[in-house]
Amino acid sequence: MYIPTFKDVQEAHQRIVPYIHRTPVLTSSFFNQLSGAELFFKCENFQKAGVFKARGACNAVFGLSDEAAAKGVATHSSGNHAQALAYAAGRRGIKATVVMPNTAPEAKKAAVRGYGGEVLECEPSTAAREGMLEELVARTGADFVHPYNDHRVIAGQGTSSLELYQDIGELDAVVAPIGGGGMISGTCLTLSNVSPKTEIYAAEPKNADDVYRSVRAGEIIEDDSPQTIADGLKVSMRPRTWHFVSNYVTDVLLATEQEIIDAMYLTWQRMKIVIEPSSAVPLATILKNKELFAGKRIGVIITGGNVDLKKLPWM
């Protein structure tokens, strides 16, 4: 199992710069006052495809040799990674195929197709999904880009906190959401090198607290179909992300569904930015653990802004 290094992050950044946004870092005097901390929001909701995952996907896609690229890329995902991979492949002019359960919302399929990707529908089970992907890869030679258990993806996600560090300097802590652990792993990889004193907190929905329990158990515990509004955070860690979480994360902080919704609403209302529920989990945990952060400089990773505007959780 290859664990990516900081050099991989630096190379990733050089590689993907033409294809991604250098996202802005926003501040809010309202949230500074409310939290008692100085917050720096790294806004990956403004990223290409509306999500940080464009970074990892572009790193994987643009790191392929021409020969490998000609065979296309493939993944299984019903979420943001699917769009991000389709975006990256579209920029390189190669084919992206995404295996999705036939129960996935039409909007998600349309988004992948909108970036030029192809959607293959399967029965909504892990076995069906993995089987179809395996068959596809065997048949076409497409490169499988896992949403997070992939060293190229982790190195790509690490470029977000690299930019944050370049723009804002040393931070006392960074708080990022955790699902499978791709963003947190990239954050650990970068910060443990450029700013090892910075604490890293993983923010997780209480309803999908597998990482919280894994850290306490000392091994990966998987959730069984967790129910949370933070739909990007339902998946479980894999060995590569567990490596970073178990070695570098200071602690895992939990937020209830209502706390996530409240933080999301308040962010839209006061910062005027559209963020998805997963992106509100860090702020929710900061507001309920003020004593951990008071008086400190805190980075907050806003991971994405892909949300159904017609179905908002406070309606």
Binding site for its own copies (CB under 8 A): 24, 26, 45-46, 50, 265, 268-269, 271-275, 305, 309-310, 312, 314-315
The residues pairing with 120 across neighbouring beta strands, listed in sequence order, are 99
Of residues 154 and 307, the one with the C-beta less far from its own copies: 307
C-beta of 112 vs 249, nearer to its own copies: 112
What CA–CA distance (Å, rounded) separates 126 from 82?
A: 16
| Rounded distance between C-alpha atoms, residue 131 and residue 172, angstroms | 44
Tell which residue, 34, 39, 46, has the closest CA to residue 266: 34
Bridge partners, 97 (sequence order)? 74, 118
First to last CA, the chain: 45
Report the residue number, 6 or 265, with the smaller CB distance to its own copies: 265
Measuring CA to CA, how many Å separate 70 from each of 14, 73, 142? Answer: 22, 9, 8
Beta carbon of residue 270, minimum distance to its own copies (angstroms, whole number)? 8
Task: Write down the least CB distance from residue 55 to its own copies, Å.
Answer: 16
The upper half-sphere exposure of residue 196, i.e. CA atoms within 13 Å in the direction of its Cβ, equals 3
